[in-house]
Amino acid sequence: MDQRPEGNPPEPAPEQRQPRVFPTLLQESIFVGANGVRPIWRFLIYVGLYYVLRLLLLSLAGAVVSRESDDVSPLWLQLLEECLLLGAAMFPALFLSKFEGRRFGAYGLPSHDAFGKQFWMGVIWGLGAITLLLLVMRGIGVFYFGRSPSNLQIFTKKTRRRLNFPPASRPTASR
């Protein structure tokens, strides 16, 4: 019986060793590091897939919708565009997560903190900022919360007040 110290692994037989070939060494040094695919290549794959999918999806949607665009509201078209862009952004991350064997959350959208403290702090800051902006814009007179009076209506009201004319009466419908 061969007695080995417990910490040393057994030596592989000479026929089990694989000789390293230059392309494998080059491939490992440029494309793959100790933690998998190098970050620059992950980024380039993601950006490349995003732009290719974006071009394909928006072109396909544009060809389909252009035939029926008279019946479709522009808001629905914007919603469709945003959904397609979301798909074009998420598919490369899903592809890379499967390719590298990582979780999808490792690519910036972790599910465990989706509606956590930072999300709600962002909601509060976002709503506070837009509210403050709208209030300042209303204060300087460039934004109205309701129906905005036209310049002619404002001019007419001020002129009638200055000249003490009674308010204009509306004509009644005759029977």
> Would you list the domain boundaries of the chain?
19-111, 115-166
Q: What is the pLDDT of residue 21?
A: 44
pLDDT per position as a tens digit, 41-71:
889 989 999 999 999 999 988 888 776 666 7
Q: How far is it, in rounded angstroms, from Cα 114 to Cα 3?
A: 55
Lowest mean pLDDT among 20-29, 38-47, 148-157, 166-175: 20-29
Distance (Å, whole) CA 138 – CA 140: 5
